[in-house]
Amino acid sequence: MRPLARARSVLGGLRARLILAFIAVAVTGAAAAAWASAASAGSSLLEEAQRRIADEIERKVTATAPSMPYPPDQAALDRLRTTIGGPALVTYGALRSATGPVQDLLTPRLRSATGETDRLLAQRVQRGGPKLVVGTPVLITGLDGVRRHSGVEVYAVRDLGGVQQQVDALTANASRTSALALPVAVLLALLAARGVLRPVRDLRTAARRLAGGDLGARLRPRGSDELAELAETFNDTAASLERSVGELARMEADARRFVADVSHELRTPLTTLTAVTEVLEGEAERMPADARESTRLAVSETRKLARLAEDLIEVSRFDSGAATLRPEEVELRAAVRDCLHTRGWLDEVQLDAPEEVAAVLDRRRLDVITANLVGNARRHGAPPVVVRLRGEQEWVHLEVTDHGAGLADEVAPHVFDRFYKADTARARSEGSGLGMAITAENVKLHGGTIEAGNAAGAGARFTVRLPRWTEVSP
């Protein structure tokens, strides 16, 4: 797997997503809490500074205003400005007394609002750094006891840089606190992911055991949450599957036992029947034509029935595990030649075996393998049928090739299935329909392999590979 694909696979896993989600939530929560705390503390500092500045200016104005002459002259405005201190502006009509950049920071809105209210107003500005601009009218009390505007307005500017530094320090501390929360969040995420993923891993392991054929795989539910319900559901499903498979296995065993029993029961009467029909076959030449044809048909069908019974008995031995090997020393070329000679195929089949090949195999099962493959090639292929033998140090190879149309792609995977018919329109075949299945079982019993395909420039080809030195049972 490429590094990029592997990284995507890891990051896309449930563990990685859980950890990342937990870290994201933890860090976001810590950052939000820190930001809210810093913002609240900063706001409190600024409000406290504003209140302190406003109280100071209001106190100075209140202390100085009663001693001012009215209408005030320039000297009175200068004394009031000096009393306030710092950048300040005192106005009365066209008279002005100013020091510092008050005019530049004073907004028309604050100027207008100060002229219309009877209390102190404050506005924060950011020009040249954080500053607080304060505006307040000077009130006088008339002879009727009513307080009214004197026409004197006082504006003052105070620097909030120190307060802003304190707010920045609080924000920085909050950021560091959030950063310190990250390792703790990772540790908690790992612990949480481990607790959540443990049941998932158990479920995966049990599912793999179940898929591998272990129908007794079960989970132990823990707690009463959704994962525990999932474990109980899995156990119920596995138990139901185990019951169904057990029932199917029992039915299959019963069916196989039935077939084996029937085949055994039929073998004896079929043997007798075969002997009788062979006697009739010897007398067939002296029978009338109709009787002769019927006799030959009866002989042929009886032989097919007897062969089917024998094949069913052989298959039942494989299914029940009763089939065993009887290895013996065999010269492969001679054994195959004897097989062909016994069946009268020696003149029809080309044997390509340049040298003797000594091996230890079950001679009878080797004969069955050879006879079934060659017989199948003769029935369904076209001459010449070629049998090739080769020997290696640990294996022997037997290859049967015909020169017919070959195997269709959809047929090759099913050639060794029981009672498989490549042509469904063909109602009956000359064989029992079990020959190739028995061949494959015999090869498997030896510990070998068999493959079906097509040869280049020829027809179907069956390739058998058998262990050359099959161990002899003690």
The span from the first CA to the last CA of the chain, in angstroms, equals 48
Q: Would you place residue 220 in the very low, low, confident or very high pLDDT band (cuts 50, 70, 90)?
A: confident
Give me 90's structure tokens.
Answer: 């005192």
At 204, give phi and psi (nearest 5°). Answer: -65, -45
pLDDT score recorded for residue 1: 54
Instruction: Report d(CA 443, CA 466) in Å as an integer.
Output: 7
pLDDT score recorded for residue 473: 58
* Percentage of residues of the chain with pLDDT beyond 90: 23
Smallest Cα–Cα separation from 339: which of 328, 349, 329? 349
Overall pTM > 0.85: no
pLDDT score recorded for residue 343: 92
Using an 8 Å Cβ cutoff, are 386 and 453 in contact?
Answer: no
- Indicate whether 120 pLDDT > 70: yes
- Indicate whether 95 pLDDT > 70: yes
Q: Give the pLDDT mean for 282-299.
A: 83
- Indicate whether 411 pLDDT > 80: yes
Pairing of strands 395-401, 358-362: unpaired
Smallest Cα–Cα separation from 374: which of 395, 344, 396? 344
User: What sections of 284-391 are H helices per DSSP?
Assistant: 289-320, 332-342, 363-380
| Span 344-375, pLDDT tens digits | 999 999 999 888 899 999 999 999 999 999 99
Give me 343's structure tokens.
Answer: 């069946």
- Indicate whether 442 pLDDT > 70: yes
pLDDT score recorded for residue 426: 52
Instruction: Report d(CA 77, CA 61) in Å as an integer.
Output: 11
